């Protein structure tokens, strides 16, 4: 059974600081997804990481994937209040790539 | 505008009364999926569909049915709802190439309460 674990589950940061959210998973998978959810809203796709060593960046967020370590990171650079949200990683599982398992999410709060 | 729509957005019903939540996308996506979101449990996949007439179970399929007769629609059916199906439900769609799923576009969500 595939397990996806995110750390930390809650993160309170000051504006301007850097931090990393970790997503590790227990079974081989070659793609990993990051999503953002604002309070009371739906989910928005941030990154799709398709292969080992993949790195993608958008603004202050950078995501990477190490399939050998079964680990993805979401790095936040110089956090701003607008980044406050819950971040989810998800991994495709098994023979059918359509079966996705989500982590429990990391609730990020960026304070002035 | 490219979008995934769900109806209804809010629903309060009673145990055992059959209901359908509709999901429609206008992006010609092959892949569609249903999730439920519960506090502390994140999102859990109920069913997914790689294409028309192709559906498969996710992690929590019990008590749910789906069908994919047309590419744009993927309704979620609760034949006999129970209180433990009270949840926030999301539909999503994605382009799919070679059986692989890319970025998903999520609908606005349906908040279901079963009393």
Q: CA-to-CA distance for B34 and B76, rounded, in angstroms?
A: 8
Determine the pLDDT at residue A31.
86
CB contacts of B33 in chain A (<8 Å) are 98, 100
CB-based burial of residue A59 (10 Å sphere; 0-12 exposed, 13-18 middle, 19+ buried)?
A: exposed
Q: CA-to-CA distance for A30 and A66, rounded, in angstroms?
A: 9
Q: Which of A74, A36, A31 is nearest to A56 (CA)?
A: A74
Any residues with CB less than 8 A from the CB of A68 and at least 6 apart, and which?
Answer: A52
Total residue count of chain A as it appears in this document: 112
Reply yes or no on whether the pLDDT at B100 is more than 90.
no
Q: Which of A42, A88, A97 lies at the smallest CB-CB distance from B101? A: A97
Helix (H, G, I), strand (E, B) or coil at A35: strand
Q: Which of A34, A6, A5, A64 is nearest to B104 (CA)?
A: A34
Two tokens, residue A6: 């995110």
A98 confidence band (pLDDT: 50, 70, 90): confident
> Residue A43's closest chain B neighbor by CA?
B106
Å between A28 CA and nearest CA of chain B: 15
The per-residue pLDDT for range B24-62, each reduced to its tens digit, is: 999 999 999 999 999 989 999 999 999 999 999 999 999
CB contacts of A92 in chain B (<8 Å) are 100-101
């Amino acid at each position: 059974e595939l397990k996806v674990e995110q750390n930390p589950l809650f993160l309170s940061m000051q504006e301007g600081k850097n931090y990393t959210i970790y997503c590790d998973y227990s079974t081989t998978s070659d793609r990993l997804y990051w999503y953002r959810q604002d309070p009371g809203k739906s989910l928005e796709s941030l990154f799709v990481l398709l292969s080992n060593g993949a790195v993608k960046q958008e603004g202050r967020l950078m995501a990477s994937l190490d399939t050998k370590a079964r680990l993805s990171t979401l790095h936040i650079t110089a956090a701003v209040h607008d980044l406050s949200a819950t971040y989810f990683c998800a991994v495709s599982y098994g023979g059918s790539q359509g079966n996705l398992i989500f982590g429990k999410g990391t609730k990020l709060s960026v304070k002035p | 505008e490219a979008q995934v729509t769900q109806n209804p957005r809010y629903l309060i019903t009673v145990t055992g009364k059959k209901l359908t939540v509709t999901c429609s996308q206008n992006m010609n996506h092959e892949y569609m999926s249903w999730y439920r979101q519960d506090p502390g449990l994140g999102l859990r996949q109920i069913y997914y569909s790689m294409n028309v007439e192709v559906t498969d179970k996710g992690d929590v399929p019990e008590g749910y049915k789906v069908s994919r007769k047309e590419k744009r629609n993927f309704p979620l059916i609760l034949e006999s709802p129970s209180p433990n199906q009270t949840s926030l439900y999301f539909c999503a769609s994605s382009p799919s190439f070679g059986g692989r799923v890319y970025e998903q576009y999520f609908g606005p969500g349906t908040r279901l309460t079963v009393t």
